[in-house]
Structure 1
Amino acid sequence: MKFLRIGFVLMLLIIMFPISSHADTHDSWEKLDQLSDQALQLVKQERYEEAKRMLDYFSDEFLKTHFDDRNYSMDELRVITVTHDSAVEAINSTSISFEERVKKATQFRLVIDAIRSEHQPLWSEMEHSIMTTFNQMKETVVEGDSNTYQHQLDLFMAKYDMIQPSLKVDVSPLTVQRLDSHISFLDSYRNESLKTSTRLQQMEQMELDLRTIFDNITEDDADPSLIWVMISTGSVIILTLSYVGWRKYKGDKQKRVPRRDSEE
C-alpha cells in the first residue's frame, strides 16, 4: 500500500504541474487583455496621457509574461509589437484624428484578444457589419453606381483594416494574403473602366475567402486542456482501483488456501 500511495501522489503531481503552468499563463494573458481594453476605453474618452501610461504598463507586464504552455510564433509577437507601437504613436501624435486614434487602439485590443481567446475572438463579431458592407458594395457594381461604389469600397476597406492584424493571428497566412490581394486589386482599379464581369469575378472569389475566415471561427464547447485533465485523472483512478482490486483478490485467495488445507 505504501508503493500505491507514492505512485498516486506522483501521478497527481504530474497532472497538477501543467495545470498550474497553464493557469499562470492564462492569468497573465487575462491581465494583458484587460490592460488593452482599458487603454482603448481611455482613448475613447480622449484621456490620452492615461492611455499612454496604460500601454507602457502593458509593455512592462508583457515582458514579464512566461509563454511556457504555448510556442508563440515570431509573426504573432511581431503583430503584437507593431499594433502596440502604432497605438502609442497615434496617441502621441497631435496631427491624427480622434477616429484614427480609436482605430489604432481597437486594432491592438483585437489582436490581444485574438491571442488570448480560444473561442470566438472579438474580431469575429464584426462579421455581420463587414459582410453587409461587402454585399452593398457588390450591389453597386451590378447597378453600375460608380459614386456609391467608391464610398462602399472605402467603408469596407476601413472595416477590414480594423481586423486585418488579428487575422494574422487566427487565420492562415495564405488566406490573409489572398484577401489582401483582392482588396489591393479593387483599390488599384477603382477608377479604371473594368468590365463589370471582371470586377464581380474578383469580388465573388473575395466573398468566398471572407466567408471562409468567419466560418472557420467556430466555438468548441470542450476545452482541450480540460479533456486532458479528465483523461489523466480518470487513468489514475482506474489504475488505483485496479491495483486495489488486485490486492484484494490476492488477499482473498491467500485466505482460501489455508481453509482448503484445514478441510483436507
Structure 2
Amino acid sequence: MRKIVVLLLTILFIIQPSDAEAVTNQTGNTLSLMDQLADEALQLTKSERYDDTKIILEKFENLLNDNSYYALSLTMDEWRILQLSVTEASKIITNEDFTEGELVNSLTKMRLAVDAVATEYEPLWTAMEQPVMASFQTVKAAVMDGDTAHFYDQLNAFLSLYEVIYPSIKLDVSVEKVQQLDAQIQYIQQYSDELFASADGIKEMEALQTNLESLFENVDEDEADPSLWWVIISTGGIIILTLSYVGWRKFKAEKESKQQFEKEHKN
C-alpha cells in the first residue's frame, strides 16, 4: 500500500509541471494568435479589403471574449485595453462614413497594444518615437514663433499620433509618468493662450518634451515590422488631415463655449 501511495505522489509530482507548462504554452499561443490577427487586420485595411478586416476583427473579439483575463495571464487593465481597442476599431469599420485615416489610426493603436501585451521586451510602440517627437517639435516651433493658427493645426496632429501609442504607454510605463504627461498635455490644450503670453509657455513645452523623450529611454526598441513603418509613413498625412481639422473645430468650439460661459458669469 505504501509503495502505491509513493508511486501516485511521484506521478503527480511529474505531471504538475507538465500541466503548468501546457497552460503557459496555451496562453502564449493564444496571445501570439491575437498578435497575428491584429497585424493581419492592419494589412488588410492597407489593401482596402475592409470586409476581410471585419472578419478578422470578429475573430479577434471572439477569441478575447472566449478567454478571461485570468486564463490569458493578463491583468484586468491589459484585458480591458485590448477590449477597448478592438471595440473601437469594430465601431469605426461598421460606420458607413468611416475614413481610411480613422481606421488605420485605430488599427495601428490596436496592433501596438496587442504587441505590448504579447511581448515582454522590445515593445513595437517605441518605433513611433521619431514621428511623435518630430510632430511635437512642430508644435513647439509654433509656440516659439507665436504662430497661433499653425499651433492649433500641429497640436491636433501631434495629439492624433500620441493617441496611437497611448494605450501601449499605459501598459508599459509607470502610472506616475503617464499621469504627469496627461496633466502637461491637458494644460497645453486648455490654457493655450498662456503659452503665447509669456516665456513660461516655452518652459512648459520644454518640460513636456523632456517627459516625452523619457518615454523612449531605457526601452529596447524592436526592429519595426516594415509594413507598420509603411503605414506610419504613408498614412501619416491622412491621419493628420482628417483628425487635425476635426480636432481644431472641436477645440475652437469648446474654447468659444468657455469664453461665453465666463462672460455670462461676469455679468
Normalising by the residue count of structure 1, what TM-score does the alignment of the two structures yield?
0.71
User: Pick from 98, 117, 120: which aligns with 2:119?
Assistant: 117
Tell me if the contact between 1:25 and 1:66 (Cα under 8 Å) persists in the aligned partners.
no
Name 2:143's counterpart in structure 1: 141
Larger C-alpha radius of gyration, 1 or 2?
1
Tell me whether 158-167 or 56-65 shows the greater mean CA deviation. 56-65
What is the alpha-carbon distance in structure 2 between the residues aligned to residue 219 and residue 17 of structure 1?
34
What is the alpha-carbon distance in structure 1 between the residues aligned to residue 68 and residue 156 of structure 2?
40
Name 1:101's counterpart in structure 2: 103
What is the alpha-carbon distance in structure 2 between the residues aligned to residue 82 and residue 10 of structure 1?
41
Shift of 1:178: 1.9
Shift of 1:139: 2.5
Report the CA distance shift for 1:22/1:193 in structure 2 as closer, same or farther (over 3 A): closer
Name 2:209's counterpart in structure 1: 207
Name 1:132's counterpart in structure 2: 134
Name 1:186's counterpart in structure 2: 188
Tell me which amino acid in the other structure corresponds to 1:214.
F
Tell me if the contact between 1:25 and 1:65 (Cα under 8 Å) persists in the aligned partners.
no
Tell me which amino acid in the other structure corresponds to 1:62.
L
User: Pick from 175, 179, 184: which aligns with 1:177?
Assistant: 179
What is the alpha-carbon distance in structure 1 between the residues aligned to residue 104 and residue 214 of structure 2?
28
RMSD of aligned residue pairs (Cα, Å): 3.0
What is the alpha-carbon distance in structure 2 between the residues aligned to residue 176 and residue 15 of structure 1?
38
Tell me if the contact between 1:25 and 1:68 (Cα under 8 Å) persists in the aligned partners.
no
What is the alpha-carbon distance in structure 2 between the residues aligned to residue 67 and residue 100 of structure 1?
28
Q: How is 1:1-264 mapped onto 2 (pairs within 5 angstroms)?
A: 16-65=18-67, 71-191=73-193, 194-218=196-220
Tell me which amino acid in the other structure corresponds to 2:181.
L
What is the alpha-carbon distance in structure 2 between the residues aligned to residue 193 and residue 57 of structure 1?
47
Question: Would you identify which runs of 4 or more consecutive aligned residues in structure 1 move more than 6 Å?
Answer: 6-12
Equivalent pairs counted in the alignment come to 219
What is the alpha-carbon distance in structure 1 between the residues aligned to residue 33 and residue 112 of structure 2?
15
Tell me which amino acid in the other structure corresponds to 1:139.
A
Find the residue that maps to 1:215 and give its secondary structure.
coil
Find the residue that maps to 1:72 and give its secondary structure.
coil
What is the alpha-carbon distance in structure 1 between the residues aligned to residue 29 and residue 195 of structure 2?
54
Tell me which amino acid in the other structure corresponds to 2:139.
M
Normalising by the residue count of structure 2, what TM-score does the alignment of the two structures yield?
0.71
Q: What percent identity do the matched residue pairs reach? A: 31
Tell me whether 186-195 or 66-75 shows the greater mean CA deviation. 66-75
Provide structure 2 residue ranges, at least 5 long, that are not aligned to the other structure: 1-7, 223-267
